[in-house]
Amino acid sequence: NAGVTQTPKFQVLKTGQSMTLQCAQDMNHNSMYWYRQDPGMGLRLIYYSASEGTTDKGEVPNGYNVSRLNKREFSLRLESAAPSQTSVYFCASSEAAGFQPQHFGDGTRLSIL
Amino acid sequence: AQTVTQSQPEMSVQEAETVTLSCTYDTSESDYYLFWYKQPPSRQMILVIRQEAYKQQNATENRFSVNFQKAAKSFSLKISDSQLGDAAMYFCAYRSGTGNTPLVFGKGTRLSVIA
């Protein structure tokens, strides 16, 4: 039972390069989320997909795009990476109901030089 | 917009003692859910405990319990008989009960356990 799988686990980019972070869940969850975690800032929501076919902006969407490819997969794309996007990125999924917890992937540490 | 505040950036506790981590939140909603997540050095986000706002009884999971004060908008986490494995970042999170909405996280409290 893999849960939420993120790839890659680590990545170093140069400023201006593009990159897609992949996320897949095998729990048949309707909702998926992308967060970034920076020191002292907690987890901030970038984008989320409440259900297949829908996406919505979160707190810090600038510089990112997302694609809900199907119910299982939700990718995050950096079109032109900037040093300010150096962070740890977490994907999560949950059932639609509010009481259901979010299940998180192990994170992707992304460094942009 | 809802906000979650954790006023203690760092806390420490002696092994086998009890520690309480604070969390307050701001919302105008009456229907919502509250969560505590643990993040050890491995970076995993692990659900510790959760509370439904309409339930007056405080949630308990083994050594972990909450003190939910709805009127005060306070949701503290108590860890009893602290163990070395409890050392981690702890995040308080809020989720609206209306619609399908994401979690809103506090900035976290780093807990150290002293042997």
Q: Would you state the pLDDT for residue B10?
A: 97
End-to-end C-alpha distance for chain B, whole angstroms? 41
In this predicted structure, the answer to whether residue A97 has a pLDDT above a threshold of 70 is no
Residues of A in contact with B92 (CB under 8 A): none
A45/B102 CB distance under 8 A: yes
A98/B95 CB distance under 8 A: yes
* Chain B CB within 8 Å of residue A88 CB: yes
Contacts of A69 (CB under 8 A, 6+ apart): A75
Per-residue pLDDT of chain B in tens (115 residues, 90 and over written 9): 789 999 999 999 999 999 999 999 999 998 999 999 999 988 889 999 999 999 989 999 999 999 999 999 999 999 999 999 999 999 999 998 887 788 899 999 999 999 9
A42/B35 CB distance under 8 A: no
* Chain B CB within 8 Å of residue A3 CB: no
Distance from C-alpha of A44 to C-alpha of A112, rounded to nearest angstrom: 19
Of A42, A99, A106, the CB nearest to B44: A106
**CA A78 distance to own-chain centroid:** 11
End-to-end C-alpha distance for chain A, whole angstroms? 36
**Residue A1: pLDDT band by 50, 70, 90 thresholds?**
low
Higher pLDDT, A57 or A100: A57
Nearest to A51 by CA among A75, A36, A33: A33
Mean pLDDT confidence for A31-51: 91
CA A53-A56-A58 angle, to 5 degrees, is 150
Burial (0-12, 13-18, 19+ Cβ within 10 Å), A39: exposed
Tokens representing A74 are 């939700």
**Residue A44: pLDDT band by 50, 70, 90 thresholds?**
very high
A88/B106 CB distance under 8 A: no
CA distance A37 to chain B (A): 10
Of A31, A88, A98, the CB nearest to B96: A98
**Residue A99: pLDDT band by 50, 70, 90 thresholds?**
low
Mean pLDDT confidence for A60-73: 96
Distance from C-alpha of B42 to C-alpha of B80, rounded to nearest angstrom: 23
Tell me the DSSP string of A54-75: --EE-S--TTEEEEE-SSSBEE
Nearest to B26 by CA among B1, B53, B51: B1
Distance from C-alpha of A2 to C-alpha of A105, rounded to nearest angstrom: 9
CB atoms within 10 A of CB B11: 16
**Residue A7: pLDDT band by 50, 70, 90 thresholds?**
very high
B106/A42 CB distance under 8 A: yes
**Which 66-105 residues of chain B touch chain A by CB within 8 A?**
91, 95-105
Residues of A in contact with B51 (CB under 8 A): none
Nearest to A113 by CA among A19, A9, A7, A8: A19
Mean pLDDT confidence for A29-56: 91
Return left, alpha or beta for A63; rule: phi > 0 is left, psi -120 to 50 is alpha, else beta. Answer: left
CA A106-A111-A113 angle, to 5 degrees, is 175
Distance from C-alpha of A94 to C-alpha of B50, rounded to nearest angstrom: 14
* Chain B CB within 8 Å of residue A64 CB: no
